[in-house]
Structure 1
Amino acid sequence: MTEKKSAWRSPWVIGWVAMVVVFFTMNMIMIYLATQNNPGLVVDDFYDRGQDYEKNMLKRQARDPKWVMKIKLPSKIEIGQPVVCQYTVKDREGTPIDRDEVTFHAYRPSDAGQDFSVPMQRIGPGLYEATVSFPLKGAWDLLVSIRNGEDEYQVPKRIGVGIDWVP
């Protein structure tokens, strides 16, 4: 008679069980990291800001002046080194636009604690400038906002600091 062998002696069974254990272990680690860290860019008053979102967006689109806005930065940005960020804004015909309040915002997608904002100074007609320094290596989301009465218009840009970045 043949002796019945245990399934645990088969390398296939051991391999499949090991893969399942690794899978569940990694999922538990990812769940733990997701609940212990908050890397999202979430505003505190998200509910209030989301009220009547569609209606407010339609109003904003109807009042959109169709400005041409551009952010200009050096191609290589190093950690901790001051860089000059320029922002230009023109109307549809190419005439420079001047406003009192232009702000440069830098958001760190992986760490909201590193976010910062700097007011931009008017250098010439439709030309604004700010000197900024990025404290950490990696991806940064930039947003330059300009106010026109009660309306605010923004232009976004993603950059890489301390790395070779192709926008």
Structure 2
Amino acid sequence: MSRTPPQAENAHRQRGWWIPYTFVAGFAVVLAANGAMLYFALSSFSGLSTKQAYVEGLAYNDRVAEEEAQAALGWTWDLDLAAVEALEPDGLSRVATLRADGRGAEGGPLDGLSLTATVRRPTEQGLDQTLPLRAVGPGLYETRLTFAKPGQWDVVVSARRGEDVFRLRRRLLVE
């Protein structure tokens, strides 16, 4: 009976020897992808800051009633961000003109209103500002804003005439 020398047995690999390594490589790819997503998620989002989230949640029904009263007014508003310019010293700040054009239920311009704009950075505190809008034409109001950084900003324009209040919320992208 002839035996194969031990060197010849070791020189030939068994069929399918690579299959366990494929599983290990697949898990390594999944772990690397999850690690990259975790890194980007933590390094690119500074966190959402909301003061008194619980109290705001309790006032939800009040907000729904306000929105129903606002819809009954029939007012429509267009909000426009015009003439965005970069400020020279830091290069990050932007100056822009915010314009609000209001129309009543019958389509006529909304005059004689008191308007304010509250501008907030959704992910950073300390950059909020509230400014009045001045009337510049029939139903047209505007103000000049300074944005500390480019990116997304939430704008809430409040229009008031007597007891009637209309709030317009928009997210603007400042480049």
TM-score (norm 1): 0.68
Q: Output the aligned Cα RMSD.
A: 3.4
**Which position in structure 1 is the counterpart of 2:55?**
48
Shift of 1:11: 4.8
Question: Paired residue for 2:75, among 67, 70, 92?
Answer: 67
Flag the 1:103–1:14 CA change in 2: closer, same or farther, 3 A: same
Unaligned segments of structure 1, at least 5 residues: 163-167
Q: Which amino acid aligns with 2:128?
A: D
Partner of 1:98: 112
Give 5+ residue unaligned stretches, structure 2. Answer: 1-5, 88-93
Per-residue Cα deviation, 1:75-111 (whole angstroms, up to 9, x for no partner):
x6233343222212231111423223x1112222343
Measured against aligned partners, the alpha-carbon deviations of 1:55-90 in whole angstroms (never above 9, x if no partner) come to 65136414631112122322x623334322221223
Q: What is the number of residues matched between the two proteins?
A: 155
Distance 1:139 1:37 in 2: 13
Q: Give, as a single letter, the amino acid of the residue that structure 2 aligns with 1:37.
A: S
More strand by share: 2
**Partners in 2 of 1:157 and 1:56 — Cα distance?**
17
What TM-score comes out, normalization by structure 2 length? 0.65
In structure 2, the partner of 1:37 is 46
Larger radius of gyration: 2
Distance 1:69 1:10, change over 3 A: same
Aligned counterpart, 1:25:
35
